[in-house]
Amino acid sequence: MTMRTLGSLGLEVSPIMLGGNVFGWTIDEKQSFAVLDHFVDRGFNFIDTADMYSNWVPGNKGGESETILGNWFKRGGKRNQIVLATKLGNPMGEGKKGLSAAYIKQAVEASLQRLQTDYIDLYQAHIDDKETSLTETLKAFNDLVQEGKVRIIGASNYGGDRLQEAESISRREGLARYETLQPHFNLYHREQYEKDLARVVAEFSLGVIPYFSLASGFLTGKYKSVADTEKANRAGMLGKYFDERGLRILKALDAVSKETGAKQASIALAWLLSRPNILAPIASATTVHQLDEILAAADLKLSPDQLKALSEASAYKE
């Protein structure tokens, strides 16, 4: 496994980022600890969560994932082995959302408390807040960096124009800049990223951390038809992928799997890792076995012909 460099501080991160959205959702604390321990034991160190995870679960309020991570840090003393990323901005209850200076100050303290740490390596705007000026948001983030509570900042779910505007403000005002982008990008969902964001990413040398990198499990090959998805936790999200193009992608993944002996999940992630400016795809796991399939992508080298076949199968209409 070759480590990659995150941001201006030169933080060394693993080429796979473990998604913490499942902690407190599809796996409990004990199961989460097992996945986290195995992740670190395998030499990986990059973990993603968000304050809102997992407030969509009945009975949850948000903060469950961060709380489990905090308990894991306290139990094992592994905080200094981890490059930790979390996010804010999505709704967390009445009046708790957005990227205003006042709310950023409130949200970071809540996350630090749940995570049982005094700093966050990568703090990200989870979603663009067009009701708050980018200058106000960036000044608030800059204050956190100056205070040592945050090391670097990043953006998620921003459009290309807004990213450019944020970069201009940071340069003009001498503020901390977004150094990473967390977009929706995978073999199936390519067009938005490639047409709107890739050019900005290249221009400003942003590290890209794709989410839904396995298309909610579709790209793993686990599901062969819509009927197969009916009992899945993300059943409502999976059905849309079973169109002509989606089935073509699955066929190409299967062919490469037979050639290499690698699992389809590993292949889909390896394709992402071959793309320009990709720092580390985010992938979640609910078992150690599932995690090993994901981590195998870090050492999987696909041939030019295999990469071409996957790119052609997933090509979208211009």
Residue 177 sits in a domain whose CATH number is: 3.20.20.100
Is the model's pLDDT at 280 over the cut of 90?
yes
Which pLDDT score is estimated for 232? 67
Q: Is position 31 within any domain?
A: yes
Q: Do the bridges between strand 46-48 and strand 17-19 make them parallel or antiparallel, or are there none, so unpaired? A: parallel
Burial of 165 (0-12, 13-18, 19+ CB in 10 A): middle
Q: Is position 44 within any domain?
A: yes
The pLDDT tens digits for 20-78 are 999 999 999 999 999 999 999 999 999 999 999 999 999 999 999 999 999 999 999 99
Query: Strand pairing partners for 269?
Result: none
Q: Is position 310 within any domain?
A: no
What is the total count of domains within the chain? 1
Cβ–Cβ < 8 Å for 178, 126: no
Q: Is position 231 within any domain?
A: no
Positive/negative CA dihedral, 114, 117, 122, 128: positive
The domain of 135 spans: 4-182
Query: Is 53 known to be catalytic?
Result: yes
Cβ–Cβ < 8 Å for 81, 117: no
Tokens of 314: 């997933």
Least confident of 62-71, 91-100, 156-165: 91-100
Query: Strand pairing partners for 85?
Result: 48, 122
Q: Is position 289 within any domain?
A: no
Query: 53, 103, 211, 241: which one is catalytic?
Result: 53
Q: Is position 252 within any domain?
A: no
Over residues 76-105, the mean pLDDT reads 96
Q: Is position 259 within any domain?
A: no
For residue 237, count other CB atoms closer than 10 A to its CB.
15
Cβ–Cβ < 8 Å for 279, 209: yes
Burial of 255 (0-12, 13-18, 19+ CB in 10 A): middle
Compute CA 192 distance to the chain's CA centroid, rounded to the nearest angstrom. Answer: 16
pTM for the whole structure: 0.96
Q: Is position 297 within any domain?
A: no
